[in-house]
Structure 1
């Protein structure tokens, strides 16, 4: 009997020792890993973001008049939103996060609905003036911005190879400097609702190796899917769109097309475009077309499918805002 009690005591001591040893080992492991700097994911692309000081998100208004092409810096943008302005010409809201430098332009003016796009990332706006409604809103809401034709002209330059107003450029390093020197209170850490998944969507989706988006009979955008690298190559008016400086073709992993209401509001042809509600859309990724609903969630344009956020492929995204009856075509050929 005494021998049994002795063995039970030994087993109990052994168990406690192993348990404590395991706990201490786990604690040491946590301490060791806690000292390592984790690599965060980029809120706009889902790719690794290794900058220790990414700075704020910048939303730069980029001109798309025929005399402004080819633009510079769009190939570096993490996300671009394209929407109509006056007439039948679109304008780009190019978003940059974590970029230390890089020429961007030509820079153009802002409209109120573009300001709706900056709400989510709380972006600093780089622009060249704006409509009266947009400038009033920026002043009333104290929206952080750098205006290249007014008080922040020092951070922009006119280039002599183009005629005004299509020759105003900036550099991301200058915008970062402007935020510091002008004492702009800018949000530096950004969280987005976007979901990213590199897995190819289920086979039931329709193939989309080419995409055609007609904003107007005189302005058409197209994409061709490159199966070798899983990217969409952009075409404007039937020609492959290249960056003005690097000569690299504009390519992205995701093309999101959303439909929403458009309304002309004045004699100058300015528009009111609803980017705060929801509607129908189509997400193109991995050579496939995915029918979605879009929603504005806390200032972010988000694709939704079956009640869940539809994932982007990690990488750059181009968002097209078209009228509810806008012309969109796609297919395999």
Structure 2
């Protein structure tokens, strides 16, 4: 009897000790003999290293026809597409925890793209910018790596393309530049929710999505049931990664409308990303009508005031002008 009592106590002690080793959001995992804690990537809802992630980066990626296909967009956890001048859009690609990989071509920034960087406190990676954007970076002391104004060591020109569509960077180089300039904040949280289950609100079947930003520029998506992801199309052509040749794909597409206004003779725009409005979230082959709001610098979808969850994985946010066109069908 006494032997059984001691044996039971020993088993309980071992069980308690074994269950007390978790730390943070997820248990620690072994990595080459070391234990490394992990956290949730706030852009994707997926596990990411908790230490050594470095700061988030927002890279301004060129979307001019001569800049396609781009490199590295499939590594971005979040991409936001907004019109720049004329009919051309620009892509704000967010990276967090990525340790390597080429990204580009890199292009200039605008004030409303800086608005997108506010929430995640991302280092803005760009090739110059409009006078208003550069002034804001300087006056507000925003974290920035500018490929043509002082930070060229972390960028390179590709000989296979012509300027200004040939400036590239590398995530390893960006981490070096961020460390040298003191941009080391890696503690990142966000307001997004992620669930594999679909939202409780009934969605309409939507496997073909069409977007018209301008009479000269259209984009779209096709839902791939095998992978559960959307395949990106630009001007009717499947958009791929230059380096891998693989199509750009994502788990969520959020389409919102925002006021646009041309403000100068160069065609520069002012885009209001703060007032909120109507939107449609596409995930799992379905469309969900939502409202969007700017929540402390993040564009967040909601229904009846409650945040609508993304499917874990990559998300593209399409910011349409108010007269832009959205269509979708089964």
Instruction: Answer whether TM exceeds 0.5 for this pair.
Output: yes
Match of residue 105 from structure 1:
104
CA distance in 1, matches of 2:159, 2:23: 53
Unpaired runs of 5+ residues, structure 2, are: 1-8, 29-36
Partner of 1:269, secondary structure, is coil
Contact 2:220 2:232 in 1 (8 A): yes
3-state secondary structure, aligned to 1:149: coil
Per-residue deviation at 1:266?
Answer: 0.5
TM alignment of 1:232-251, pairs within 5 A:
232-251=230-249
> Could you say which residue in structure 1 is the equivalent of 2:316?
318
Question: Which residue pairs with 1:269 in the alignment?
Answer: 267
Structure exhibiting the larger radius of gyration computed from Cα positions: 1
1:162 aligns with 2:175: no
Secondary structure of the corresponding residue to residue 180 of structure 1: helix
Q: How does 1:205-244 map to 2 (within 5 A)?
A: 205-244=203-242
Q: Which residue of 2 aligns with 1:64?
A: 63
Are 2:168 and 1:149 aligned? no
Question: Which residue is 1:89 aligned to?
Answer: 88
Q: Does 1:300 align with 2:298?
A: yes
> Shift in Å at residue 50 of structure 1?
3.1
Indicate if the aligned counterparts of 1:201 and 1:286 stay in contact, CA closer than 8 A: no
Deviation per residue, 1:46-68 (Å, 9 max, x gap): 01113531111000000011111
Partner Cα separation in structure 1 for residue 297 and residue 325 of structure 2: 26
Alignment partners' CA distance in 1, 2:202 and 2:68: 38
Gaps of 5+ in 1: 1-19
- Distance (whole Å) between structure 1 residues aligned to residue 244 and residue 10 of structure 2: 58
Shift of 1:202: 4.5
- Cross-structure match for 1:198: 196
Aligned equivalent of 2:285 = 287
More helix by share: 1
Instruction: Indicate conservation of the 8 Å contact 1:123/1:187, yes or no.
Output: no
3-state SS, counterpart of residue 228 of structure 1: coil
Deviation at 1:103, TM superposition (A): 0.6
Q: Distance in 1 between matches of 2:321 and 2:108?
A: 21
TM-score normalised according to structure 2 size: 0.90
- Deviation, 1:186, is 3.7
Q: Contact (CA 8 Å) 1:144, 1:184: kept in 2 or not?
A: no
Shift of 1:187: 2.1
* 1:176-219 Cα shifts (integer Å, max 9, x gaps): 011122x2334211001000010134583111100000111211
Aligned to 2:135: 136
